[in-house]
Chain A
Amino acid sequence: MSEIVLENLGKTFGDFTALADMNLTIANGEFMALLGPSGCGKSTTMNMIAGMLRPSTGAIRFNGRDIVDVPMAKRGVGFVFQNYAIFTHMSVRENLAYGPRAQGVAAAEITKRVQAFAELLQLETMLDRPAAGLSVNILQRLAIGRSAILEPAIFLLDEPLSNVDAAFRAVMRSELKSLQGQFGQTMVYVTHDQLEAMTMADRIAVMDHGKLLQVGTPLEIYNNPADAFVARFIGAPGMNILEGTLTRHADTVSAEVAGLGSVTLSPAMQGAAALQAAREVQIGFRPEQINAADQGLTMQVTFVERIGARTIVHMEQGASLAKAVLPADVPPPVAGDAWTFAVPDDAIRLFDPVTGRALGGRTH
């Protein structure tokens, strides 16, 4: 049992607030990704969980016990660093054996575990090679092994795949996921790569500027972003967000996008939107949900990107920018032309232009 609870957690460095008022519960055995751009406070959060940093405010509880005063050696967490942190003066075998030895595990048991983990991570052939001079892919595998060999109940990974090459990253994504399946640890995974978060995590915590913006399953976050930042950050490309005005009709509410046309809101959205009728909003919709149409929004096509399975259409009109993602078999518009497209009403999301928070009910 290893549940992690962060309570009003905050960290300041002098005048700079790295993290403010973070509340998050990570369930036992859960794979939680902390996702955000660099400087959003995700690594700070992680370092506080590991014990490398002391929180300025708030509490961290493992299974109900406040561990802020427990030194990091006694927290029983495994930590994988972005920069591997391999002891280069030791061999691969010595690196793997380092943690168990420090914790006083019997020699026979260490030999057994080193063998088992070397097989699991396909390191058997290089056990006696010096760690200096191994490739980055191998080093990161070794770093994961060195932490995993202690079988920690809590496993913290700080951008472990950001230095390895793309092909290896894909391999490691599935290996990490199966490693967790095998040992059932609670995993906290810090990343700025949404693909890693979306593919591996049970839940994702999206952060920006030291604030937790939304916690949810990958699909919840993709479909119903709680915030305009989350909407733009998740998805490749991210959600289109255009400035608009709500207009009340007899029985419907529509959203006018200045100079582009108007879109109708879904019944579910209208219920909430009606409360704020005739006011400024931000209108969001995913590029993947755009279809060519006779009526709807019209924008100037600036540039068409063909990337195999999909085509990305870049559009602009006045100060507004948007993108559309079309399947490869749909003939794309031509750059330089005006293009009219429709957005299904249940794909529309509204955001407050001042606070960025989502307005209206959830539709998915």
Chain B
Amino acid sequence: MQRAIPFEIFRYAVILGIVAISLVPTLWMVSMAFKPIAEWSAAGADLTWWPRNPTLDNFRFIFGQSSTDLIVALERTAGRPILASLLTATFGTLIAMTAGTAAAYGLSRFGQGGNLPLALIQLRLFPPMAVMIPVMIMWSFLGLIDNWFGLSLIYGIVTLPFAFWLMKTFFDDMPREIEDAALVEGCTRWRVFVRVTLPMMRPALASSALFVFILNWSDYLIALLLTTRDWATIPVYMASLSSSMTGQLYGAKAALGVIAAVPPIIMGIAIQKHLVRGLTFGALKE
């Protein structure tokens, strides 16, 4: 299609603007992570796009190596929060995906369940804050506060509606003939589910799991309320990175931010094939 040149210029300008707005903060974070204290704490006039003296000091600092320039020592290093985040987000995702997939399959194939799908999505309709205080009291009563499994459990519960709805749409779209074909050839329902349905659903499972994982990984509010010290996650820990002398430790925060971006990116790359391919049931007539 032939378009007018001015239109093309306008179009690319808009695209460039959108890309800049979404990527510049990320770029700024990465750049800041490699700046020595003098550069990230400098007064506005001295701020530069790129670090003049690139350094790994910020990374060393959050892992406990006190910097010579920064006269603060951290009470806690980033190691434990990273472990906490990895553990809780992973187990939370496992819980949500297991329960969500099972519920979605049951409802999609055996029909009943009445208002369950809607009831589940309603969990997301009111602000999390409204339920978090009661949850906090319950969790404290059950001794689940500041526990990796306590936090994993609530992550699983909170993201279950997403896992359920995503998987239900995928199951609804999967033609039943495929399962019927396996059933008629003598397979049990369970075997069909494990050997035929789940393998064909791999792309769906992968993209849903990534989505749920990112939700869990980036949670701040729940972790803030349900952890105190031992199992504080990356976002909670990041908020605590400040000192009375220098104020917010932006360099350390940026370094932690760079580290926090790594797992979702790795997961994204690992399942990219599935994400790009999407759900193509190539063997069936559209």
Task: Evaluate contact between A88 and B187: CB separation under 8 angstroms.
Answer: no
Task: Evaluate contact between A87 and B178: CB separation under 8 angstroms.
Answer: yes
Report the nearest A residue to B185, measured CB to CB. Answer: A99
Chain B residues positioned under 8 Å from A342 (CB to CB): none
Q: Which of A124-140 contact B (CB under 8 A)?
A: 131-134, 136, 139
- Which of B175, B187, B188, B282 is close to A85, meaning CB atoms less than 8 Å apart? B175
Bound-state Cα–Cα, A79 to B187, Å: 14
Stretch at the interface among B2-10, B112-120, B194-202, B215-223: B194-202
Chain B residues positioned under 8 Å from A75 (CB to CB): 184
Task: Evaluate contact between A85 and B180: CB separation under 8 angstroms.
Answer: yes
For chain B, give the interface size range.
20 to 34
Report the nearest B residue to A132, measured CB to CB. Answer: B282
**B143 shortest CB reach to chain A, Å:** 44
Task: Evaluate contact between A78 and B282: CB separation under 8 angstroms.
Answer: no
Task: Evaluate contact between B185 and A150: CB separation under 8 angstroms.
Answer: yes
Task: Evaluate contact between A88 and B184: CB separation under 8 angstroms.
Answer: no
B181 lies within 8 A of chain A by Cβ: yes
Task: Evaluate contact between A51 and B285: CB separation under 8 angstroms.
Answer: no
Per-position 1/0 for A233-246, Cβ under 8 A of B: 00000000000000
B21 lies within 8 A of chain A by Cβ: no
Report the nearest B residue to A81, measured CB to CB. Answer: B177
- Which of A52, A84, A103, A132 is close to B186, meaning CB atoms less than 8 Å apart? A103
Bound-state Cα–Cα, A101 to B196, Å: 13
**Given A73-B188, A89-B202, do A83 and B183 touch, yes or no (CB 8 Å)?**
no
Task: Evaluate contact between A85 and B283: CB separation under 8 angstroms.
Answer: yes
Task: Evaluate contact between B283 and A79: CB separation under 8 angstroms.
Answer: no
**B187 shortest CB reach to chain A, Å:** 5
**Given A83-B284, A88-B281, do A102 and B175 touch, yes or no (CB 8 Å)?**
no
Task: Evaluate contact between B184 and A84: CB separation under 8 angstroms.
Answer: no
Bound-state Cα–Cα, A131 to B181, Å: 15
Bound-state Cα–Cα, A143 to B181, Å: 9
Known: A52-B183, A85-B283, A132-B280. 20 other contacts (CB 8 A): A50-B184, A72-B183, A75-B184, A78-B185, A79-B180, A81-B180, A82-B285, A83-B283, A83-B284, A84-B284, A85-B177, A85-B284, A87-B178, A87-B182, A88-B200, A88-B283, A98-B185, A146-B185, A150-B185, A150-B186
Can you sample 19 A-B contacts with CB below 8 Å?
A50-B184, A52-B183, A79-B180, A82-B177, A83-B283, A83-B284, A85-B180, A85-B284, A87-B178, A87-B196, A87-B199, A88-B200, A89-B202, A102-B185, A103-B186, A131-B283, A132-B282, A146-B181, A163-B285
Chain A residues within 8 Å of B, Cβ to Cβ = 50-52, 72-75, 77-79, 81-89, 98-99, 102-103, 131-134, 136, 139, 143, 146-147, 150, 163
